């Protein structure tokens, strides 16, 4: 795209995507436009920082999301899934249920429970969730900053509402963070993600996050961790309603693998169909539709000059549906990843969590949370589409439906255990 002030290049060739995200990542930092767009809410968070500051932040954050830690937070994810089943049960009588609102609720609950050991019913958590919803409504298309044909030096105008909701959210996160700092000092803090992050020192500098820095990071965990998982879950439920054969597979597997009375981390590895569905959902509806970078120096891409400062855009939406790479790219086929083509593309043309040094630190977390919540929901309910009410995907901060996703729910579990779990 050419504008009077800058040019944007969309890279959709696996070799170029690899070059930008992995091989020469430092030469393609996060775009300044995106940083300015998200600053009121995220401050100097790891999502928008670059260079040594970013590296310092990742050295503190990454250990909290290592494989072993997922096991520690798994019971909290389970509790969120059970709470979601109990919330949905009174709505499972054949009336249309707006699914995106429900998956947002459960994904935010997961974040609060795993990060701060409180559920979404907690007073501050509930207020923060409401403020997030208002914030998203006030600033619906965050990526627009990357596409606006305006010079970089022009101050971005944030609406009063955006600044106000961002201030409210940061204030609430500040309260939670300060309470936690006190609990850590008293030796009474629970072993959750925020305690881990607040007590981890950067191995290179010995520094920890101070309160303000922690607020920046928690803001991105709330935003990146909740919007993305919610989007993936809502599209997964829609696809399962559209493809009942796969829904029955996921339901049968969940009934077999999940014992409602016991939380077993080992159940996760048995949820193979659910995992395949979640993965295929993120191929067709990647929650983050594009990644925006900036060329730090002049480049030549496939014989074309790319000037310093140009926008370089990686779009999983396009790469995941690339007709010369994927067999039947628009078909929903969770079994494709078992085929030679699916395996090859998984390695070279599948990037829902990005790739390289800036890969999503929450990918392992999300690949536990997504299949688990999906299985708990499909174990409890049959989801059906409402004919003629098709969701239309649009790129907001994440890939959402233009007008919500409505499905009907019917309980699958017997009447004597109507809540399925208690
Ligand atoms: C299905 C769920 C998720 C998806 C699809 C997803 C996807 C992504 C993607 C694509 C990026 C890179 C964006 C870019 O380079 O422009 C990213 C970054 C990030 N994600 Fe996730 N994410 C998910 C869940 C989570 C969770 C649960 C957390 C934490 C609780 C999280 C925390 C982050 C953070 C902190 C970054 C910034 C990393 C950096 O720039 O170094 N994400 N995510």
How far is CA 16 from each of CA 28, 57, 174, rounded to the nearest angstrom?
Answer: 12, 27, 41
For 217, half-sphere exposure in the C-beta direction (CA atoms, 13 angstrom radius) is 27
Q: Find out whether 418 and 86 touch, Cβ atoms under 8 Å.
A: no
Which ligand 1 atom sits nearest the alpha carbon of residue 217? 35
Single out the residue of 274, 290, 275, 301 nearest to residue 141, CA to CA: 290
pLDDT of residue 139: 61
Residue 417 has a pLDDT of 55
**CA 1 to each of CA 31, 70, 138, 149: distance values in angstroms, whole numbers, following the listed order:** 16, 41, 27, 10
Burial of 125 (0-12, 13-18, 19+ CB in 10 A): buried
CA 401 from centroid of its chain's CA atoms: 16
Please classify residue 86 by burial: count the beta carbons closer than 10 Å to its beta carbon, then call 0-12 exposed, 13-18 middle and 19+ buried.
middle
What is the SS3 assignment for 299?
A: strand
For the Cβ of 28 lying below 6 angstroms from any atom of ligand 1, the answer is no
Residue 12 CA to residue 33 CA, distance in Å, equals 21
* Residue 33 and residue 146 in contact, taking contact as beta carbons nearer than 8 Å: yes
Q: Is 291 in the pocket of ligand 1 (CB under 6 A)?
A: yes
CA of 360 to the centre of ligand 1 (A): 4
Task: Tell me if 88 sits within 8 A of 214, measured CB to CB.
Answer: no
What Rg value do the Cα atoms of the chain yield, rounded? 21
Number of neighbouring beta carbons within 10 Å of residue 22: 14
Using DSSP's 3-state secondary structure scheme, residue 394 falls into strand
Residue 258 is encoded by which pair of tokens? 């999940």
Measuring from atom 24 of ligand 1, which residue has the nearest CA? 225
- Decide if 320 contacts 347 (C-beta within 8 A): no
Minimum CA distance residue for ligand 1 atom 3: 228
Q: Which residue has its alpha carbon closest to ligand 1 atom 1?
A: 229
Q: Is residue 395 within a helix (H) or strand (E), and if so which, with residue range?
A: strand 393-395
Ligand 1: residue of 66, 106, 224, 356 to mutate (most ligand atoms within 8 A of CB) is 224
- Give me the pLDDT at residue 238, please: 98
Q: Assess contact for 206 and 256: CB atoms under 8 A.
A: no
Å from CA of 165 to ligand 1 middle: 22
Protein residue with its CA nearest to atom 15 in ligand 1: 291
Query: In this structure, what are the phi and psi dihedrals at residue 33, rounded to the nearest 5 degrees?
Result: -60, -40
Could you give the C-alpha distances from 246 to 89, 305, 386, in angstroms and in order?
Answer: 22, 46, 18
> 127 CA to middle of ligand 1, Å?
23
Q: How far is CA 83 from CA 76, 211, 326, 368, 370, in A?
A: 11, 31, 38, 17, 15
* 388 Cβ contact list (under 8 Å, min separation 6): none
Tell me if 146 sits within 8 A of 314, measured CB to CB. Answer: no
DSSP-based three-state secondary structure for 401: strand
The span from the CA of 309 to the CA of 303, in Å, is: 18
Q: How many CB atoms lie within 10 A of CB 90?
A: 7
Place of tokens 């040094």: 357
Per-residue confidence in pLDDT tens, the chain, 422 aa: 887 777 899 999 999 999 999 999 999 999 877 777 788 888 889 998 999 999 999 999 999 998 778 999 999 999 999 999 999 999 999 999 999 999 999 999 999 999 999 988 888 888 988 888 888 777 644 444 444 444 444 445 567 777 888 889 999 999 999 999 999 999 999 999 999 999 999 999 999 999 999 999 998 898 888 889 999 999 999 999 999 999 999 999 999 999 877 778 889 999 999 999 999 999 999 999 999 999 999 999 999 999 999 999 999 999 999 999 999 999 999 999 999 999 999 999 999 999 999 999 999 999 999 999 999 999 999 999 999 999 999 987 789 999 999 999 999 976 555 455 54
Q: Is 224 in the pocket of ligand 1 (CB under 6 A)?
A: yes
Please state, as a whole number, how many other Cβ atoms lie within 10 Å of the Cβ of residue 286: 27
CA–centroid distance, residue 25 to ligand 1 (Å) = 16
CA separation for the pair 278, 30 (Å, rounded)? 27
Q: Is ligand 1 within 6 A of the CB of residue 362? A: yes
Residue of minimum CA distance from atom 6 in ligand 1: 353
Task: Tell me what pLDDT residue 414 has.
Answer: 62
What gap in Å lies between CA 50 and CA 300, rounded to an integer?
23
Rounded Cα distance, 229 and 291, in Å: 17
> In testing the pocket of ligand 1, which one of 360, 369, 374, 399 has its CB within 8 Å of the most ligand atoms?
360
Token look-up 């077999």 returns: 256
- Work out which ligand 1 atom sits closest to the CA atom of 292: 16
pTM: 0.93
Phi then psi for 302, rounded to 5 degrees?
45, 50
Residue 145: predicted pLDDT? 47
Q: Tally the residues of the chain.
A: 422
């Amino acid at each position: 795209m050419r504008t009077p002030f800058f040019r944007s290049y969309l890279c959709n060739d696996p070799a170029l995507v690899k070059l930008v995200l992995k091989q020469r990542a430092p030469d393609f930092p996060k775009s300044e436009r995106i940083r300015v767009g998200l600053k009121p809410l995220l401050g100097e968070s790891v999502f928008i920082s670059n260079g040594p500051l970013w590296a310092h932040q990742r050295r503190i954050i990454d250990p909290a999301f290592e494989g072993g830690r997922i096991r520690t937070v798994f019971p909290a994810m389970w509790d969120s899934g059970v709470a979601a089943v109990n919330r949905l049960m009174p709505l499972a009588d054949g009336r249309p249920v707006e699914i995106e609102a429900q998956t947002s609720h459960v994904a935010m609950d997961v974040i609060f429970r795993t990060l701060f050991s409180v559920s979404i019913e907690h007073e501050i958590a509930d207020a923060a969730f409401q403020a997030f919803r208002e914030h998203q409504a006030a600033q619906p298309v965050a990526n627009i900053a990357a596409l606006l044909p305006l010079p970089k030096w022009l101050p971005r105008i944030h609406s009063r509402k955006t600044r106000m909701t961002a201030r409210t959210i940061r204030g609430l996160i500040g309260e939670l963070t300060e309470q936690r700092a006190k609990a850590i000092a008293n030796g009474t803090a629970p072993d959750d993600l925020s305690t881990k992050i607040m007590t981890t020192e950067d191995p290179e500098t010995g520094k920890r996050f101070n309160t303000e820095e922690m607020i920046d990071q928690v803001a991105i965990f709330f935003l990146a961790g909740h919007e993305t998982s919610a989007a993936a879950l809502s599209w997964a439920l829609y696809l399962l309603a559209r493809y009942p054969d796969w829904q029955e597979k996921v339901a049968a597997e969940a009934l077999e693998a999940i014992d409602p009375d016991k939380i077993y981390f080992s159940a996760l590895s048995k949820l193979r169909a659910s995992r395949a569905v979640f993965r295929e959902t993120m191929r067709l509806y990647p929650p983050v539709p594009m990644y925006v970078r900036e060329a730090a120096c002049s480049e030549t891409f496939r014989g074309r000059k790319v000037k310093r400062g140009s926008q370089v855009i990686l779009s999983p939406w396009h790469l995941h549906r690339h007709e010369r790479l994927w067999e039947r790219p628009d078909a929903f086929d969770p079994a494709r990843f078992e085929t030679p083509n699916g395996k090859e593309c998984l390695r070279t043309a599948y990037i829902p969590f990005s790739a390289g040094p800036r890969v999503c630190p929450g990918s392992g977390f999300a690949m536990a949370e997504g299949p688990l919540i999906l299985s708990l929901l499909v174990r409890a309910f049959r989801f059906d589409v409402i004919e003629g009410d098709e969701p239309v995907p649009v790129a907001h901060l994440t890939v959402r439906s233009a007008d919500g996703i409505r499905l009907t729910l019917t309980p699958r579990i017997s009447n004597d255990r109507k809540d399925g779990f208690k």
